[in-house]
Structure 1
Amino acid sequence: MFPSRCLIAVTSLLTLSIAAVAQHPPADAPVSIMVVANFHMSNPGHDIHNVNAGDVLQPDRQAEIEKITGALASFHPTEVMAEWPADVASQRYAQYLNSTLAPSRNEVVQLGFRLAKASRLSHFYGIDADGDFPYEPVQVFAQAHGQSQLLERANVEMEASTQTQTALLQSKGITATLRYLNDPVLLSHSNSFYRQMLSVGAGTQQPGADLLTAWYHRNFLICANIVQNAHPGDRIVIFYGSGHAFLLRQCVTETPGFVLVEPNSFLPQ
């Protein structure tokens, strides 16, 4: 039998070894990533179709957001990322932790910062990238070549989805809206808007393809920021506008070592 001192020493070594493994997971440990598609809570009106989000600073909305981030915290994220430039996100998160950030309706603050703080994270990752969205050339070509109806149909579908989101917010709240936005079937259908743009063009004039090239380029830059800031064993939550979610999910599923986690498995019912 081991003397008691030896047993204590062995136990201590085992404890240290387990702690070391937890802090430094194997190089091939998978990166689990949850992409949470969201709507713009501060209503900036920058998109072609915009949700009427109301005032998320109202007490009932704040209580709901607290419940949402509490549920997502059970994923135990090691990093939280969102749709802001890196320098802006880092600076404002530091202010948020110090309680010096002015009240904000922005979803990065309401969802991202709140979850990161609840998870006791000292850093917040802004992973957004600038990009053009050359939609006007698509409209001009479509009008000149009798394709206006194609754009009208595509936009009617997008507007219907936007109105559904607004109605859900008003009748059932933020949780129901997020669960709607994160339905994989809906995300795939929503991405078809961009694919329809490939019909607009002919010969050497391809404004639809140019639009998609610009859109994919921006999302590839965002994907690169995810990949470059991920580490083996990480559990990452990413908050992004729903229009990006399909491609960011594709980024995760097609990157070796990354595992996609469905947010609707964690969002409250």
Structure 2
Amino acid sequence: MKRTWIPLTFILSAGAATAQTQTAEPPARTREAVDNAIQATLHSVTERAGVKPRRVLFVGTFHFDDQGLDEYKPTHHFDALSERRQKEIAEIIDRLDNFDADVVCVERRFGNKSSLDNQFNAYTDGKLDLGPNEIHQIGFRLAEREHLEGVSPVDAEARWHEPVENPETWAKENDQAGKLRNPLQIAFFPVIQERDRLIDAWHLTDTLLAINSETYRETSNGMYLTGAFQVGDGESYPGVDGFVSAWHNRNLRIFQNILNASEPGDNVVVLIGAGHVPLLSFMAQCTPEVELVDLIDVLGDEAAETGESGGETE
């Protein structure tokens, strides 16, 4: 896909031109006024460049059929195939349908595309019963509802710094072992355990809205910046150059895959582990080629009452 690169000088000149045509005065010193002024400037940039942004909706989720691959082992017992959960999933598909997705992206490596295509075709031909994982239960069902040819795998393998210094070893050798047991990280584990309890108790829609809320996203993402991340001395950065750098690299690659799996003007649903959403949504907010749609504007009660799909633009 051909990318459009917009030089900074063009952005500044476009902004200056917009400001001159609209008003000679700066905006009022309020958050809303400043944001509106900048939004108008950025809108003029995309219009001049002939770019129609993609509308991207992140559906951050827990893994319905967790395989125990992450450090934290969940304690919830989510049976996606139960009558209760099937009803809840059907309601979610109905609401996501209002978004009119052109592309459904899922958390699988690109190398799995052939397997996913075969599974999806077997499902739509009535030859495959869906499994309990979220890719089948939400990804496949939504793609079928939207009459798509399949789902798009966008996960990627991270690239690690080489050689990688072990933060734990380095900390113990450099009198920083105390950073390895950060009290914030220890205190956050009960929050995750409470999340697991709520997964069991709540309607799936409520759980998804909770773990996609701005507060939850910021807090969970902030945990990556505590503890071992802070191990280092200004010359060596084992806490930065290890897992955290690889995590950011993986998400940058995922975001590129999302852009390459879609076209300008597409409505894109990204079904992915909730831990990825803070970084991916930040990238989406910073990208002139993307309009970020908040999940609550699609799954929330107000969206359900109006049948709207998160503020679609012409």
What is the TM-score normalised by the length of structure 1?
Answer: 0.82
Flag the structure with more relative contact order, 1 or 2, with Cα contacts below 8 A and sequence separation at least 6: 1
The match for 1:180 is: 210
CA separation of 1:133/1:154 partners in 2, compared to 1, >3 Å: closer, same or farther? farther
Contact 1:80 1:237 in 2 (8 A): yes
Matches of 2:133 and 2:170, distance apart in 1: 35
Give the partner amino acid of 2:207.
Answer: T
When structure 1 is superposed on structure 2, of 105-114 and 93-102 the one drifting more is 93-102
What is the TM-score normalised by the length of structure 2?
Answer: 0.71
CA separation of 1:255/1:55 partners in 2, compared to 1, >3 Å: closer, same or farther? same
Matches within 5 A, 1:1-269: 28-51=51-74, 52-86=76-110, 87=113, 88-131=115-158, 137-144=166-173, 145-148=175-178, 150-196=180-226, 197-210=228-241, 211-269=243-301
Shift of 1:98: 2.2
Give the fraction of aligned pairs with identical amino acids, expressed as a percent. 28
Give the partner amino acid of 1:227.
Answer: L
Give the partner amino acid of 1:193.
Answer: M
SS for the counterpart of 2:299 is: coil
Matches of 2:294 and 2:257, distance apart in 1: 21
Contact 2:255 2:283 in 1 (8 A): yes
CA separation of 1:201/1:56 partners in 2, compared to 1, >3 Å: closer, same or farther? same
Contact 1:139 1:148 in 2 (8 A): no
Matches of 2:53 and 2:215, distance apart in 1: 25
Matches of 1:69 and 1:123, distance apart in 2: 16
CA separation of 1:153/1:90 partners in 2, compared to 1, >3 Å: closer, same or farther? farther
When structure 1 is superposed on structure 2, of 128-137 and 169-178 the one drifting more is 128-137
CA separation of 1:50/1:260 partners in 2, compared to 1, >3 Å: closer, same or farther? farther
CA separation of 1:75/1:167 partners in 2, compared to 1, >3 Å: closer, same or farther? same
Matches of 1:217 and 1:67, distance apart in 2: 35
CA separation of 1:42/1:201 partners in 2, compared to 1, >3 Å: closer, same or farther? same
Give the partner amino acid of 1:250.
Answer: F
Give the partner amino acid of 2:170.
Answer: F
Give the partner amino acid of 1:44.
Answer: Q
Matches of 1:119 and 1:147, distance apart in 2: 52
Shift of 1:55: 1.4
Alignment root-mean-square deviation, CA: 2.4
Paired residues in the alignment total: 244
Contact 2:130 2:137 in 1 (8 A): no
Shift of 1:260: 0.3
Contact 2:140 2:150 in 1 (8 A): no
Post-superposition Cα deviations, 1:200-259, rounded to whole Å, max 9, x if no partner, equal: 122443221112211111111101101112212100110110111011111211222210
CA separation of 1:136/1:174 partners in 2, compared to 1, >3 Å: closer, same or farther? farther
Matches of 1:174 and 1:140, distance apart in 2: 41
SS for the counterpart of 2:108 is: coil
